[in-house]
Structure 1
Amino acid sequence: MRIWGKVFGFIIGYMFGRLGGAIFGLWLGHMYDRRQSARAGLGSSSKRQALFFNTTFAVMGHVAKASGQVTEIDIRIANALMDQMRLTGDARADAQAAFREGKESDFDIHACLKTFRLISMGRKELLQMFLEIQIQTALSDAKLDPKEHTILSTIAKELGFSQKQLDELLARWQAEFNFHQQGGAGHQTSVADAYDVLGMKESMSDQDIKRGYRKLMNEHHPDKLVAKGLPPEMMELAKTKAQDIQAAYDRVKSDRGMR
């Protein structure tokens, strides 16, 4: 029987959230031990992956509850994300349990995120991927409730992102939603949305566009993210993001006549 995840989670949670953090850390450690029971070893990378996985769905549940109650749409969105990640069996059960935990009225999101940031060792790309998943969830119904925005601001702050950085990510994800609505790669998509997906401006030079594109692809490279702690189950999300960046860049290149 594995217990070290519980011990580790309890201690770290208590350090950052006292009793509330300790309780959450104990639960998170239990989920980690459960997911690790079928794996050999306790490497730091696999530990980060398990904690990333469980924290993602717990915070998703909390975001879903932000507007007052979890609706059928919220549940469908969560299940759609699980489907996109091809979660089945124990992995899906773990995700559903974490989602339910996040919906509880005593869920301490501050302690949760402080623990997550510590375990992630401040890896910016990993923390940004986490934040983007929460943004994607909040925007999946094509609107952003003011209470959802408040919680996203809390998440961003706890993870070390400024309000300006959050607003920029929100704008990019809104553009990405529009980009998909218009058909995505190979269709008549808006050039303006393509620029917004990339977080760039039409006034930028071709060289700056290329430099920015390479930076984005490096930040969202699925293999690099998994190596830094992204759960393998979430690689499909990273692949989709990378494909959207590529499609937006191709649209901008075509409009500019770039090679």
Structure 2
Amino acid sequence: MSWLSGIIGGGIGAMLGGPFGAIIGAAIGSNIGGGQKVSAGAGRVGFSEAQRRQALFFTAAFSMVGKLAQADGRVCEDEIDALKRISRDALRLDGQTLSYALSVFNQAKSSPEPFEAYAREFGSLFGQDQQMCSFMMSFLFEVAMADGQLHPGEEQMLLSAKEAFRLHDSIYQSLRDRFVGSASPTRVGLAKHFEALGVSEEADVAAIKKAYRKKASEFHPDKIEGKGLPPEFIKLANDKLAEINASYEALMTAHKAA
């Protein structure tokens, strides 16, 4: 049973409460639940903690994106098209899941709750797991940069999310560099690869290998999914693992050449 079938059939939104519970209830009630043939008891039977976290993570993502799209004061067709493209190409959402995502987006967009309320709620739910917070921030950056630029209002929201998620400054800056571009013209060479592995530029081969094994284990998609990352977001884990592998190869090559 998928997390989406569970919340449609089990009324999980009403049981959760808070901003995301309200959004889930409204999104399911608006149009996604009408054609879904799931019995009322199906969602309550065997709805695991992992599926609950998946439902919350997914709802939080598109709730915050709904507010992020309004950062410049309005939501334009280009932003809607970009969201659909990311949902289709990057997340590979099926038709029903995309319908739910857009319902969440629209409910959050018209909600009186500010972006910061959703960010704080996510931080209270996932703040103890910085991997999950890092994945969420990656998604927010990807959507914010869909039009090729980071607007001041968007960056202000992302910074408020960083605080709400209790995300370390270095992680935020690394993601900003990745999606927006490095703000420091002096940052060259292998520095980004040392940063990706979380080691200093003075680290020896043994330290680099140890850091790589730890990072690769942390970001293995199977392990991430078990912690509550929705399957639709596993591509972000794959991208992070590819980045870690590339950084390790670059540092090993540099050491061999030295």
TM-score for the superposition, normalised by structure 2: 0.75
Partner of 1:112: 118
Partner of 2:212: 213
Check whether the contact 1:32–1:51 (CA below 8 A) recurs between aligned residues: no
Deviates more, 1:27-36 or 1:74-83: 27-36
Q: How many residues align?
A: 234
Which amino acid is 2:91 matched to?
M
Deviation per CA, 1:19-54: give whole Å up to 9, x if none.
Answer: xx4xx5322245579599576522111011011111
SS at match of 2:142: helix
1:142 Cα deviation after fit:
4.0
Indicate yes or no: 2:13 matched with 1:6. Answer: yes
| Bigger proportion of residues as helix | 1
Which amino acid is 1:123 matched to?
D
Which amino acid is 2:66 matched to?
G
* Distance (whole Å) between structure 1 residues aligned to residue 127 and residue 25 of structure 2: 17
In structure 1, the gaps of 5 or more residues are: 14-20, 177-189
For residue 46 of structure 1, the aligned residue among 20, 43, 51 is 51
1:95 Cα deviation after fit:
1.0
Indicate yes or no: 2:149 matched with 1:143. Answer: yes
Which amino acid is 2:216 matched to?
M
Indicate yes or no: 2:84 matched with 1:79. Answer: yes
Partner of 1:127: 133
Partner of 1:27: 23
Partner of 1:64: 69
In structure 2, the gaps of 5 or more residues are: 1-7, 183-188
Deviates more, 1:91-100 or 1:101-110: 101-110
Superposed, which structure 2 residues align to 1:177-188 within 5 Å?
none
For residue 153 of structure 1, the aligned residue among 130, 152, 159 is 159
Check whether the contact 1:220–1:241 (CA below 8 A) recurs between aligned residues: yes
* Distance (whole Å) between structure 2 residues aligned to residue 147 and residue 254 of structure 1: 41
| Structure-2 change in CA distance of 1:172 and 1:204 (3 Å) | farther
User: How big is the alpha-carbon RMSD for the aligned residues of Structure 1 and Structure 2?
Assistant: 3.2
Indicate yes or no: 2:250 matched with 1:245. Answer: no
Partner of 2:224: 225
